[in-house]
Amino acid sequence: MNLEDTLFLIEFFKWCFILNFTLLCYSTLMVIFFQDFIYRIHIKLGIYSGDKDKHKTLMFNYIANYKIMLIIFNLVPWIALKIIFS
């Protein structure tokens, strides 16, 4: 692997992390401040048909899982590449 490929991968993982972290922050804010709105939309679209408390739990589980995946697949490879090739 040459230096250009390595620099490309470092930039790729950095921007993947930045974009996914932005999406995570947006999703978190939406779930915190617009819980009722999100619940009503999911009911209308037929995506969800349970009670409101269970929906809230599912939304926070979604955010937690997304955060874990973000760390594993974006942040850790970026940090590893930065350590190895710096």
Domain definitions of the chain by residue range? 3-84
Residues 38-83: tens digit of each pLDDT: 999 999 999 999 999 999 999 999 999 999 999 999 999 999 999 9
What is the SS3 string spanning 19-75? HHHHHHHHHHHHHHHCHHHHHHHHHHHCCCCCCHHHHHHHHHHHHHHHHHHHHHHHH
The model's pTM is 0.88
